[in-house]
């Protein structure tokens, strides 16, 4: 994917958001409270609502974008830029490229993406991350899954889940 195909694919916030939701739908959403996998989509809240207990899971919750107020478009652009540049991207440079005022959220985003990429094959492309690899925007395992993993052999196979879970503490790093 080059700059032109990227721009025509992911030209605006709604497209990126729809695409992101599609990725999550493919993986399935698991309720953190009760483990139920049936959800209503609440478009006005950008959240899933559990059909059995009503617990809401926001679209970003449990993914690399959790706690970030940056738009999906910004995330997609940043991932694109970072995946097409062989030499790393500094947070400052990213801030400049994206034309964003605040450094903090950009810094945090860049570190999370870098961490997620570092945990994966260096040859990953944007297509690999966004289009093919649903694991990139993966979801933290719920308490229910965690207890299942303890009991069974699931823990080893859940590596893609770990990628996002690991990226969370980076916010505290300075
Ligand atoms: Zn529930």
Model pLDDT, residue 117: 74
Cα 145 to middle of ligand 1, angstroms: 14
Cα 58 to middle of ligand 1, angstroms: 13
Cβ atoms within 10 Å of 142's Cβ, excluding its own: 20
- Please give the DSSP secondary-structure letter assigned to residue 49: E
Question: pLDDT per position in the chain (174 positions), as tens?
Answer: 778 888 888 899 999 999 889 888 888 889 999 999 999 999 999 999 999 999 999 998 888 888 899 999 999 999 888 877 767 789 999 999 999 999 999 999 998 888 777 765 544 444 445 443 444 444 343 444 445 444 444 333 333 332 333 333 333 333
Can you tell me the distance from the alpha carbon of 20 to that of 25, in angstroms, rounded to the nearest whole number?
A: 9
In sequence order, the β-bridge partners of residue 38 are: none
Cα 30 to middle of ligand 1, angstroms: 8
Taking the model in full, what pTM does it have? 0.70
Rg for the chain (alpha carbons), in Å? 16
Can you tell me the distance from the alpha carbon of 148 to that of 91, in angstroms, rounded to the nearest whole number?
A: 38
Cα 32 to middle of ligand 1, angstroms: 7
Model pLDDT, residue 27: 81
Cα 54 to middle of ligand 1, angstroms: 6
Cα 114 to middle of ligand 1, angstroms: 33
Cα 141 to middle of ligand 1, angstroms: 14
Cα 164 to middle of ligand 1, angstroms: 22
Model pLDDT, residue 104: 96
Q: State the DSSP H helix or E strand holding residue 39, giving kind and residue range, or none if neither.
A: strand 39-42
Can you tell me the distance from the alpha carbon of 122 to that of 116, in angstroms, rounded to the nearest whole number?
A: 11
Question: 32 is written with which tokens?
Answer: 């953190």
């Amino acid at each position: 994917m080059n700059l032109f195909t990227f721009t025509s694919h992911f030209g605006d916030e709604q497209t990126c958001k729809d695409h992101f939701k599609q990725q999550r739908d493919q993986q399935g959403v698991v309720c953190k409270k009760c483990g139920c996998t049936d959800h209503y989509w609440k478009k006005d809240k950008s959240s899933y609502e559990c059909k059995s207990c009503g617990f809401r899971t926001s679209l970003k919750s449990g993914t690399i974008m959790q706690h970030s107020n940056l738009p999906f478009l910004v995330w997609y652009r940043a991932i694109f830029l970072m995946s097409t540049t062989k030499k790393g991207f500094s947070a400052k440079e990213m801030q400049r490229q994206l034309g964003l005022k605040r450094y903090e959220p950009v810094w945090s985003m860049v570190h999370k993406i870098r961490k997620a990429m570092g945990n994966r094959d260096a040859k990953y492309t944007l297509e690999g991350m966004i289009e093919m690899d649903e694991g990139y925007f993966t979801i933290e395992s719920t308490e229910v899954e965690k207890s299942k993993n303890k009991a069974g052999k699931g823990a080893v196979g859940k590596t893609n889940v770990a990628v996002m879970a690991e990226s969370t503490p980076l916010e505290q790093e300075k």
